[in-house]
Amino acid sequence: MDDARCRNLVNELGIVIVSVDYRLAPEAPYPAAIEDCYAVLKWTHANADKLSVDRARIAIGGDSAGGGLTACLALMARDRAEVPVCFQLLIYPMLDDRTGTTVMSSPELGKYIWTRSANHYAWNAYLGQAPGSAGVSEYAAAFRAADLHGLPPAYIGVGSLDLFLDEDLEYAKRLMAVGVPTEVCVIPGAYHVFDVFIPEAPLSKIFKNSYFSALKRAFAK
């Protein structure tokens, strides 16, 4: 599903991308997907020479549920301290299993494409229990993390009509509050995965340039 985005990144930035074919819920609920991601991160680091990859410049990224896995992977990599991560690219990431169950900043959030009911269904399938339940791990829902210190610099991009707007902006604020360099891009009038549905739209191109530039700057450092 993300081949086009990955190919564009490779072609325009000249980077190596390892795309994770992680196991999917509900057949394989948490922690299958995140452990698959971590295994691939370790494999990439171990095989960096064969891949022509600089071990000091390994970034992680994803969109939507993949963005949520990316945020969880950043937490896991920090805590296990086996592989250094230089940057996390979070494209409209799915961070909080409680989203949609509480009052949100606007009734317009989640009206298009990815709705509250879809979000509830997805989290239930992934967690194997009702979203919002007590004891959900931060490696399942990154927003649950109490301590965000020591995470790699981040980019968070989201549309102003995306169901994930509130959680993404709040997560960005929390990252910045503990000194994690964080860039935020909010596209006005954009719904979830808008850039995938209409890639040639002017706002989609602005969004693409935004996160492409952020990743390029991260590797340049």
Q: Which residue among 63, 166, 192, 195 is the active-site one?
A: 192
CB 86 within 8 A of CB 155: no
Q: Which residue among 64, 166, 168, 195 is the active-site one?
A: 64
Token pair belonging to 13: 């930035």
Structure-token match 């790699």, residue found? 152
**Can you tell me the distance from the alpha carbon of 64 to that of 54, in angstroms, rounded to the nearest whole number?**
27
Would you call 192 a catalytic residue per the annotation? yes
Q: Is residue 149 within a helix (H) or strand (E), and if so which, with residue range?
A: none
Would you call 64 a catalytic residue per the annotation? yes
Which of 29, 9, 26, 27 has its CA nearest to residue 17?
A: 9
Which residue type does 70 have? T
Q: Which residue among 63, 97, 162, 166 is the active-site one?
A: 162
Would you call 149 a catalytic residue per the annotation? no
Give the residue ranges of DSSP H helices in 47-142: 48-51, 65-80, 116-127
Q: Where in the sequence numbering do the catalytic residues fall?
A: 64, 162, 192
